[in-house]
Structure 1
């Protein structure tokens, strides 16, 4: 078995990038005191980057496509785990975190496949969307009664 330093370095960078995008998104969720944070998102990014990198070869396009489809479908179960129904309000909580977990899985897949422009652009867009203040959503038409008593949105 030949050791190709540049190939191994590329693989390490892909895994680090997958972890990094997860940590970046998870940091924002941690700041918002979400149910999932830096460790969860970092692991999602690393895991999906790993799964995608295993089948990232040019001769494995069909395999990588199937892996990505399975990952993005399966990660929905993890996202569903953070969604809860607040009985007193009758509204779901955790939808934004669940969506962020799914996006992080896609970002990890992009990192694992070495698609740097997609990974970097989509990470910036995800963080921007997560940073939007809820007053902007109310301005856009979200009713104020979707906040809890402390003024925090119910879907964090």
Structure 2
């Protein structure tokens, strides 16, 4: 058997150390993901880290550092496909980006372990965990801050709900009123809502004066045939 001829105890224990380090560090990362009930939890992160370590360790033993570099490139590509599987789009919302990025981190930890860079693997694990835990309060604080419409780059929609027979007239009035207020209209969408119609004007502006736009909307709501008028802003994709 060729195994008996090629087996070397030192190399075998080196591989065990690499896989064990990847397993333990992947467990730390995966446990945090599992605790937060993410799609890719404990087992997924451990398997990614161990598999990456195994591939890199195999290349190191067969072709040395040059072979490991090539395998690492393939590991990065492969994790990209795996990460895409946990990203889900629900309407305008995208979920799973952080989970996909964490999988990349687990793969990087495994690659470091497979290349016998244990200290680097430990350091990377600390940074991945810090990114998923220590930065969470900062993210929550930023998300709770109100949107500053005068300086944010967002999309603005002005919506007028009107009677069916007033569509043509109010559409022209909507565009004219906004342009007179120096808010050019990119396009107007018309949506039927039972016995009423919604006219939604998308502005080309990237910032507005909230009080000024409130006054424009108030004027539109007083027009004959208009039932309701409002405006909203949302961040760009």
TM range (shorter): 0.7 to 0.9
Match of 1:109 in 2: 111
> Counterpart of 1:120?
122
Instruction: Give the equivalent residue in structure 1 for 2:229.
Output: none
Counterpart in the other structure of 2:13: 9
- CA deviation after TM superposition for structure 1 residue 5, in Å: 2.4
Tell me, yes or no, if structure 1 residue 21 matches structure 2 residue 25.
yes
Equivalent of residue 43 in structure 2, options 35, 39, 42: 39
Q: Which residue of structure 2 lines up, in the alignment, with residue 152 of structure 1?
A: none
State the secondary structure of the residue aligned to 2:143: coil
Give the whole-Å Cα distance in 1 for the aligned partners of 2:145 and 2:43: 32
Deviation at 1:34, TM superposition (A): 0.2
Q: 1 or 2, which has the higher helix percentage?
A: 1
Counterpart-to-counterpart distance in 1, 2:123 and 2:100:
20
Residues paired across the two proteins, number: 142
Structure-2 separation of matches of 1:5 and 1:65: 25
Q: After the TM superposition, which parts of structure 1 deviate over 3 Å for at least 4 consecutive aligned residues?
A: 141-145
| TM-score normalized by the length of structure 2 | 0.56
Q: Choose 1 or 2 for highest CA Rg.
A: 2
Q: Extract unaligned runs of 5+ from structure 2.
A: 147-237
Root mean square deviation of aligned Cα: 1.9
Could you say which residue in structure 2 is the equivalent of 1:134? 136
The 1:15–1:86 alpha-carbon spacing in structure 2 relative to 1, beyond 3 Å, is: same
1:52 equivalenced with 2:56 (yes/no): yes
Alignment counterpart, residue 72 of structure 1, candidates 73, 76, 85: 76
Higher mean displacement: 14-23 or 66-75: 14-23
Give the strand-richer structure, 1 or 2. Answer: 2
Decide which moves more: 33-42 or 16-25.
16-25
Which residue of 2 is the match for residue 148 of structure 1? none
CA distance 1:66–1:3, change in 2 (3 Å): closer
